[in-house]
Structure 1
Amino acid sequence: MQHEFWATTILDFLIALGVVLGGVILGGLGAFITDEYPMHRMLHLADKLKIWAMVAAIGGTFDTIKAFEVNILGGQLDLAFQQLIFIMSAFIGAHTGTVLVRWMIQGVI
């Protein structure tokens, strides 16, 4: 059980990070192809993709919120706390991706 918790936490972090970084890189390539300024588009995409990265990492917001509700109402606060940690892990992954994008292109703009 402990191994599964940490595996899910790490996967949520890395999936959210990957969604932001992958989306920004491919969006920047698309901006280059369409003759837009890629760095501005990449900054814009990093902010826009953050929430979608979290949703992708936790597998859809409705299931997570439903599990959170059932665990709290059922008195299983440890499982509700685990759901909060999964959400936080996804947020930290998405935010890390955004920070990395800003750091990589800080001298270009």
Structure 2
Amino acid sequence: MSAGDFWSTSVLNFCIALGVVLGGSTMGGVGAFFTNQPPLYVMDNLADQLKIWALVAALGGTFDTIKSFELHILGGELNQVFQQIFFILSAFIGAHIGTTLVRWLINGEW
């Protein structure tokens, strides 16, 4: 994997995870409004619950990542293992920032 592909994949993982949390909690808040539930409370809960699903969506499924770890560790390609770890971290950071932004928007605090 070239350096350009590495960084573009990292940015895509970050943005996908961020979008899943922001979009899912926003649309859930709209749905809560239409069903006479408190939208801000629902958005806060959904942001927490969607965090793990944002990671899975950004990584394209957890089994591919686990299989990649196995192949690269057994093959002695530790550089590829560190790349996979960085991809997971970039997706986690995107999901965490999404949750933080939702809380900041509905509560007015970080």
Task: Please confirm whether the aligned pair reaches a TM-score higher than 0.5, indicating the same fold.
Answer: yes
Equivalent-residue separation in structure 2 for 1:106 and 1:27 (angstroms): 17
Q: List, as ranges, runs of 4+ consecutive aligned residues in structure 1 with deviation greater than 2 Å.
A: none
1:13 Cα deviation (Å)? Answer: 0.2
1:34 partner amino acid: T
| Separation (CA, whole Å) in 2 of partners of 1:87 and 1:2 | 17
Gaps of 5+ in 1: none
Deviations, residues 15-72 of structure 1 (Å, cap 9, x unaligned): 0000000001100000000000000000000000000000000000000111011101
Match of 2:13 in 1: 12
* One-letter amino acid matched to 2:72: N
2:28 is aligned with what amino acid?
G
Aligned positions of 1:63-102 closer than 5 A: 63-102=64-103
The 2-side partners of 1:9 and 1:19 are apart by: 16
The runs of 5 or more residues in structure 2 that have no matched partner are none
Q: Distance in 2 between matches of 1:104 and 1:58?
A: 27
Identity of aligned residues (%): 64
Q: Which residue of 1 aligns with 2:54?
A: 53
- Helix, strand or coil: the match of 1:13? helix
TM-score, with structure 2 as normaliser: 0.96
